Each structure stands twice: as structure tokens, then as C-alpha cells.
Structure 1
Amino acid sequence: MEHGDNHITVIDDEGNEQLCEILFTFESDEFNKSYVLYYPVGAEEDENGEIQIYASSFTPGDEEGQLQPIETEEEWDMIEEVLDAFLAEEEEEEEK
């Protein structure tokens, strides 16, 4: 993972680089991890007007910036709750 201001370059298992925009990052005391939610730059919306958002854990300050996969269903549930709250807040801001 390479860092830009609001972008990261994600390298997949086959060595392909994908520029992604960071939606937001947060820390979880429950899992003692930091998380990043992101999506590919230029991603197209599906038929519902949504884009696929990816989530990974990471170690802040790690020079190599390795993204780690989400390991448990409990982590996914927590991430979905945080994302839902974020999206609801964004929607409220747009309505103002």
C-alpha cells in the first residue's frame, strides 16, 4: 500500500497495481486494529447507483503499508456498522 493524500495504490496477488481512493480510515478498540475503506478510482456504479467498497486492516506508520485481509465475520459486521453510520452521516450532510 502506497500513500497519497487520499489515494493508495493496492497491489493484488498477481502484482497488478490499482489506484484507489480512500473513503475513510478508523481504529477499532474491540479488535485493536486500524482499518481503511477504499474503492478503485474511476469505479463505475452498478444498477443501484452504488460502487463496491473494499476494506482492509493496516498497521499505522508501517513503512511498507501492507494491507491485511479482514479475518472474521465479527470484524465484517463491525465494519458494515461503521460504514452504514458513515454513509448515513454523508447523506444527512447532502440534504442540508
Structure 2
Amino acid sequence: MENNSFTMLNEAGEEVKYDVLFTFDNEETNKSYIAYTDNTYDDDGNISVYASTYDPNSSEVILGKIETENEWKVVETILNTIQQEVRQADNIENSNEQE
């Protein structure tokens, strides 16, 4: 992954650039996970975020499926925590600008 981004082919065979949001390892599953975005928005106006397993030691990005509900819960918990931290930081920054 160069500069925290990578390029993959989508289902239509087109190259798409993805930005890495975060990565983490889970000792329970002994897997590494990656959350990433193509910076598009869903129907509700939220940025599209994807998550997969990956091999951090590989020279190329090879994504794998998240196989269990427990794995999804771990990823969602981390994503929600990061979203809350970003919102709190934005709120602090906005309140400092207003003073």
C-alpha cells in the first residue's frame, strides 16, 4: 500500500483507487483487517466504507472476506469508536473557532 491507498478492479473491471482508513490485528482471530473507502457516498449521504481481511506482509494488497458475525462486530465497534473520536475532535475544533 503506497501512501495509504491502493488500486483494485471493481466488479465492472474498472480500476478504483481506495484510501485506507485504518488497519488492525485481532489476536482472537489471528487475522489482520483493513477498512477503506472509495470516497463515494451511499443513498443516505454517508461515505461508503468497506472492510476486509488482508496480509500486511504481502507486497500487494489481497483482500479476503470477513467470514463471521463476530469478526464484523469487532470491525464495526472499532469503526464506531473512531467515528465518535473524529466527531468529538471536530466539535472541539468548531467550539475553539467560535471563541
Structure 2 CA distance for aligned equivalents of residues 16 and 53 of structure 1: 18
**Which residue pairs with 2:43 in the alignment?**
46
Scaled by the length of structure 1, the TM-score of the pair is 0.83
Structure 2 CA distance for aligned equivalents of residues 39 and 57 of structure 1: 14
Structure 2 residue runs without a partner (length 5+): 93-99
| 8 A contact 2:6–2:61 mirrored in 1 | no
Structure 1 residue runs without a partner (length 5+): none
Select between 8-17 and 18-27 the one with higher mean Cα deviation: 8-17
Q: Between Structure 1 and Structure 2, which shows a larger proportion of helix residues?
A: 2
Scaled by the length of structure 2, the TM-score of the pair is 0.81
**Which residue pairs with 2:27 in the alignment?**
29
**Which residue pairs with 1:10 in the alignment?**
8
- SS of the equivalent of 1:53 reads strand
RMSD: 1.7
* Identity fraction in percent: 35
User: AA paired with 2:52?
Assistant: S
2:81 is aligned, of 82, 85, 96, to: 85
Structure 2 CA distance for aligned equivalents of residues 13 and 25 of structure 1: 23
Give 1:14 deviation, angstroms: 5.6
Give 1:76 deviation, angstroms: 0.6
- Higher-Rg structure is 2
